[in-house]
Amino acid sequence: MYKIMLVDDEASMRNRMLTRIKWEEYGFQIVADAENGIDALEKFEQFVPDVLITDIKMPFMDGLELSQKILENYPLTKIIILTGFDDFEYAQKAINLNVIDYILKPITHDNTVKVLEKTRDKLDSEFQEKRDVNKLKEYFEKSYPLMRNHVLYQFVSGRILGKTAKERLEYYNIQVPKGPYRIGIIQQKKNSKSENIKTHETNRLMLYESVNSIIEHRDFGTTFIYDDSVIILFAYGSDEDEENKKLESTIYEIDQYIDKFMAFSINISIGHKYDTMDEISISYNQAMSALDYTTNGEDNEIAFIWDVEPDTKSTFLDLRKSDTIRALKTGSVEDVQDIISRIFTDIEINNIREKDYKLYLLEYVFDIIKNANLLNVSVGEEYSQDKVIAFMKDTSSLFELKNWTINLACSVTNEIIKQRDDKNVDYTQKAIKYINDNYTDPDLNINKLSHVLYISPTYFCAIFKKNTDSTFNKYLTDVRLEKAKELIEQTDKKNFEIASLIGFADANYFSYCFKKNVGISPSQYRQSRKDAWKLGRKY
Last residue of a domain, one of 260, 288, 318: 318
DSSP class of 331 = T
Judge whether 40 and 5 are in contact, CB under 8 Å: yes
Last residue of a domain, one of 78, 111, 130: 130
Judge whether 203 and 189 are in contact, CB under 8 Å: no
Question: Does some domain include residue 325?
Answer: no
Question: Does some domain include residue 323?
Answer: no
> Tell me, what's the pLDDT at 319?
35
The phi, psi pair for 320, rounded to 5°, reads -70, 130
CA–CA distance, 231 with 256 (Å, rounded to integer): 18
Are 314 and 409 contained in the same domain? no
Question: Does some domain include residue 172?
Answer: yes
Q: Which of 470, 456, 481 is nearest to 250 (CA)?
A: 456
> Tell me, what's the pLDDT at 136?
65
Are 148 and 243 contained in the same domain? yes
Which residues on neighbouring strands pair with residue 181, listed in sequence order?
235, 274
Judge whether 80 and 70 are in contact, CB under 8 Å: no
Q: What is the mean pLDDT of each run of 10 residues along the chain (539 residues)?
A: 93 90 93 90 84 89 86 86 70 65 86 92 85 65 71 85 81 81 91 66 89 92 90 88 89 91 90 85 88 86 87 40 69 81 80 84 86 83 86 90 90 86 90 95 90 87 88 90 94 92 91 90 88 61
Are 375 and 509 contained in the same domain? no
Statement: the pTM of the whole predicted model exceeds 0.85: no
Task: State the maximum Cα–Cα separation within the chain, in Å, rounded to a whole number.
Answer: 93
CB atoms within 10 A of CB 310: 13
Are 463 and 495 contained in the same domain? yes
SS3 (DSSP) at 251: helix
Judge whether 402 and 344 are in contact, CB under 8 Å: yes
CA–CA distance, 70 with 48 (Å, rounded to integer): 10
CA–CA distance, 66 with 485 (Å, rounded to integer): 29
Are 486 and 532 contained in the same domain? yes
CA–CA distance, 535 with 454 (Å, rounded to integer): 51
Are 163 and 199 contained in the same domain? yes
Last residue of a domain, one of 84, 111, 130: 130
SS3 (DSSP) at 404: helix
Question: Does some domain include residue 434?
Answer: no
Judge whether 133 and 208 are in contact, CB under 8 Å: no
Number of domains comprising the chain: 4
Are 121 and 154 contained in the same domain? no
Question: Does some domain include residue 430?
Answer: no
Output the domain CATH number for residue 56: 3.40.50.2300
Output the domain CATH number for residue 509: 1.10.10.60
CA–CA distance, 539 with 529 (Å, rounded to integer): 16
Question: Does some domain include residue 426?
Answer: no
Query: Sheet harboring 51-55: ordered strands across?
Result: 28-34, 2-7, 51-55, 78-83, 101-104
CA–CA distance, 26 with 119 (Å, rounded to integer): 10
Q: How far apart are the first and last CA of the chain?
A: 63
> Tell me, what's the pLDDT at 266?
92
Are 174 and 96 contained in the same domain? no
Residues 6+ apart with CB under 8 A from 220: 234, 235, 246, 247, 250
Are 165 and 312 contained in the same domain? yes
H or E element at residue 316? none
CA–CA distance, 435 with 444 (Å, rounded to integer): 8
Question: Does some domain include residue 324?
Answer: no
Are 82 and 121 contained in the same domain? yes
Structural domain for 348, as ranges: 330-420
Are 334 and 388 contained in the same domain? yes
Residue 343, amino acid: I
Output the domain CATH number for residue 248: 3.30.70.270
DSSP class of 274 = B
Are 147 and 292 contained in the same domain? yes
Question: Does some domain include residue 367?
Answer: yes
CA–CA distance, 497 with 500 (Å, rounded to integer): 5
CA–CA distance, 109 with 14 (Å, rounded to integer): 13
